[in-house]
Amino acid sequence: MHAKPRRVVDLRTRCPSGLAKTRSLGDIRCYGQAPGGTVPKGSRSPSGGLPLEPLGQEPRFGSISGKPSIATGAKEAQTSQAADARSRPSKGPSPASEGSMARNLAGSSRSSLAEHWARLRQQTRDDALEQSIQRRQEKGCWRLAAGEGLDWQHIRNEFYGAVPESFGQVTLDDCIDAFLASRRGLRLLDLGCGVGALLARLRRDLGEEMDWSSSFGVTSVHNFDISMFTPPAGFPDFFDTQLLRFNLDFLAEHAQTDLASKRFDVITSHYCWCHLQDPLGALICAFGLLSAGGVLIFIEPLHVPSHSLPYTEHRLYHWDDGMTGPLFMRRLLQHWQQEVAVFSVVETGAGERKHVLALRKHAEHQQLSLPASVRPGASSWTLPCVREERLGRGDLEPFVTPSARSFAEWLQKAKSQRCSHGLA
């Protein structure tokens, strides 16, 4: 499977050369920087991270700092808005009534997502996996702290991207720029955001061009480690207000609580889905949180020995249409292209290879479905046979619809593409 075993490791053997070599994040003072103490503009290297400082008097994260939660803040805002509305003379539909209509619509959307997931979860989770997810939740195994296998490069990564052959560089920034070219107020959700470095960079670089009341990150990194990072200048409570902590295998449940009434223009994740117990199910739920016209962009590693992606892990899912076999990514993409715009490419070459999956939602009511033949549980095929079959079928060949020569071109074409949901 993709998930790394939970174990204590010597972090001195995992630090990039630019970091102070230490066993604890608490001993780190700052990241390695380019000569002159600056990070090259546009650098895609994760080594250009946020500055760190020693732990202060109290952590600046979540409930530990005693700050109000997002849900509490939303309730207070709604109360204030209602009071303002009552003090104004009536002139057509009031903002309060419009807000009520919007909340009713959002409630209906949340309900449809929950119902949709209830129908599909049996295709991605058998009883054994469901019990494993529950045990992991109860034991808190999804929470990570320094010394417990944290991936230093990925939990502090500010730039999400890959360089697939023939498509040039594909980055999350391309997606953000495409949205901001037409309007302000981008709403972004970073699933598996690590220490929130990406969000902090966007706060610093884009400021009020984003809607920070509806932009969040979800993390499993321990509060203590996050509290040592310096928040963006002028926003001391940034990590309190923008980061949420929960197990992403329970994303559907949290869509009705922590993310209640929220929909997002961009949902992203980088090297997180490979650690989940049910990555395909979580992908289905994440797509349901997109707004109309929203784009989901996930970047995950390819498991080279089996040519599996998290969504097609041969020990989690299989295909059963009379003959049982491994789940192929191409079959999923061929099914999804009838519903959404699809961009799926993988890096070539030796060593670590990244896969980019981008899906664009055409309409608010759309949900991502699964082929009827998808089943939970491992296939009976051996790993070498799975790899050989996937290579023979060209399972990881580029799959881009509408056709495009670059990610930026795909974003533009997908925006103008008419919904083909239900058409073969």
pLDDT (tens place) for every residue of the chain, 424 residues total: 455 443 333 332 333 333 332 233 333 333 333 333 333 333 323 333 333 333 233 333 333 333 334 444 444 444 444 444 444 333 333 434 434 434 444 455 556 888 899 899 999 999 999 999 999 999 988 887 765 556 667 788 899 999 988 888 999 999 999 999 988 999 999 999 999 999 999 999 999 999 999 999 999 988 888 888 889 999 999 999 999 999 999 999 998 888 888 999 999 999 999 999 999 999 999 999 999 999 999 999 999 889 999 999 999 999 998 778 999 999 999 999 999 999 999 998 777 899 999 999 999 889 999 999 999 999 889 999 999 999 999 999 999 999 999 999 999 999 887 544 433 3
Edge-to-edge order in the sheet of strand 324-326: 324-326, 317-320, 374-376
The residue whose two tokens read 């058409």 is 423
Contacts of 38 (CB under 8 A, 6+ apart): none
pLDDT score of 227 = 84
pLDDT score of 39 = 33
Joined together, the tokens standing for residue 76 give 């207070």
Report the predicted TM-score, pTM, of the whole model to 2 decimal places: 0.75
Domains of the chain: 115-416 (3.40.50.150)
CB 61, CB 227: distance < 8 Å: yes
pLDDT score of 148 = 56
The continuous run of DSSP H or E covering 111 comes out as helix 95-124
Integer Cα distance of 248 and 272 in angstroms = 9
Joined together, the tokens standing for residue 43 give 């650098």
Closest of 42, 17, 11 to residue 32, by C-alpha? 17
Integer Cα distance of 356 and 401 in angstroms = 14
CB atoms within 10 A of CB 197: 22
Q: Indicate the Cα dihedral angle 339, 312, 307, 331, nearest 10°.
A: -40
CB 319, CB 374: distance < 8 Å: yes
pLDDT score of 146 = 62
The SS3 call for residue 289 is coil
